Amino acid sequence: MDVVIQEIVSTVRAVSGESLLNERTLAQIVRAVLAATEERQRRQQERSADTRANTPSPGREN
C-alpha cells in the first residue's frame, strides 16, 4: 500500500551539540569529576607517605 503525503507542516528545532547538557547535569558531572580527582590525589599522597615511612634513610636500617 502506497501512502502519498501532499502537504506536511512541522517544526524543526536545531540545537548545538554543546548545549545538550543542562546546567544541573553539567554541575553534577563537574562535582563527580572533582571528587574523583581529590580522592585520587589523597590516595597518591597516602602511598607517598607510606613509601617514605617504610624507606630507611641513607646510613640507617629499619
User: What's the pLDDT tens digit per position in 45-58?
Assistant: 988 887 876 666 66
CA distance 20 to 32: 18
Q: Which residue carries 602511598 as its cell?
A: 47
- pTM > 0.75: no
pLDDT digits (tens, 9 = 90+) for 12-33: 887 777 667 788 988 999 999 9
In whole angstroms, give the CA distance from residue 17 to residue 39.
Answer: 31
The CA angle 42-47-48, to the nearest 5 degrees, is 95
Give the whole-angstrom CA distance, residue 32 versus residue 40: 12
C-alpha cell at 23: 546546567
